[in-house]
Amino acid sequence: MTDAIRVLLVDDQQLVRYGFSLVLEAEPTLIVVGEAGDGEAAVDAAVRLRPDVVLMDVRMPGIGGIEATRRITSLVPDTRVLVLTTFDLDEYAFGGLQAGASGFLLKDTRPADLVAAITAVHHGDAVVSPRITAKLIEVAAPHLAAVVAPEPATLLSTLTARESEVFRLIGLGATNGEIAEELHLSESTVKAHVGRVLFKQGLRDRVEAVILAYRLGIVGR
């Protein structure tokens, strides 16, 4: 299917890859184009296959998921990486933020939510599981010190009222479609607002926007 989202599965456990493959191949909008059992193989496969989305495990032999993510986002910038991790998170998992990952999900995420996350990431949204948002803020926020200016009021004053609304909803983890529904806007209009919010705040992507929203108190912890 030419319109299907092309997915590369990366995990050092074959049984885990098999389980994800069964879930994804059952969806007509998704197709698994390859698998890899370690970081080096993941980079090679991403360069060769040019998938739309990579499901990336964190802890693997060799270079590991974080370094593999860094290399993939550098070598294949159109490919989006979705990091899969366990509930016992540490800063290695959040290293994916600096490596260019587009989101974080727990491995026990429901199949429907996994499919929705892949679709959202493919369409330019970032995905952060609500269950790990607090830890994301706690562990990854210090890495954004250079991004965040010392005066939050100055940062927020650059946004229009509509952009501020969009920023708040980004902070809550809403996708473009959900923001469009909430604010009664078209998705293309929302996408434009999101782009301006990221530009004005000096942020690379929506994951950084989620963290900044928490740090500034736009959304609660």
Tens of pLDDT, residue by residue over 193-216, are 998 998 888 887 777 787 788 777
Q: Are residues 75 and 151 in the same domain?
A: no
> By percentage, how much of the chain surpasses pLDDT 90?
40
Q: How far apart are CA 113 and CA 215, in angstroms?
A: 27
Output the pLDDT for position 72: 95
Instruction: Please check the confidence at residue 135 and state whether its pLDDT lies above 90.
Output: no
Output the pLDDT for position 129: 60
State whether residue 160 is helix, strand or coil. coil
Q: 33 or 97, which is more confident?
A: 33
Output the pLDDT for position 182: 93
> How deeply is 166 buried, as exposed, middle or buried, from its count of CB atoms within 10 A (0-12, 13-18, 19+)?
buried
Output the pLDDT for position 109: 82
pTM equals 0.70
Instruction: Please check the confidence at residue 148 and state whether its pLDDT lies above 60.
Output: no
Output the pLDDT for position 150: 43
> How deeply is 219 buried, as exposed, middle or buried, from its count of CB atoms within 10 A (0-12, 13-18, 19+)?
middle
Structural domain span for residue 59: 5-140
Q: Are residues 159 and 200 in the same domain?
A: yes
Q: What is the sign, positive or negative, of the torsion defined by CA atoms of 177, 178, 179, 181?
A: positive
Q: Are residues 54 and 134 in the same domain?
A: yes
Instruction: Please check the confidence at residue 75 and state whether its pLDDT lies above 80.
Output: yes
Residue 221 belongs to some domain of the structure: no
**Cβ neighbours of residue 82 closer than 8 Å, sequence gap 6 or more:** 53, 54, 55, 56, 101, 102, 103, 104, 105, 117, 118, 121, 127
Q: How far apart are CA 182 and CA 176, in angstroms?
A: 10
Instruction: Point out the domain boundary residue: 119, 140, 161.
Output: 140
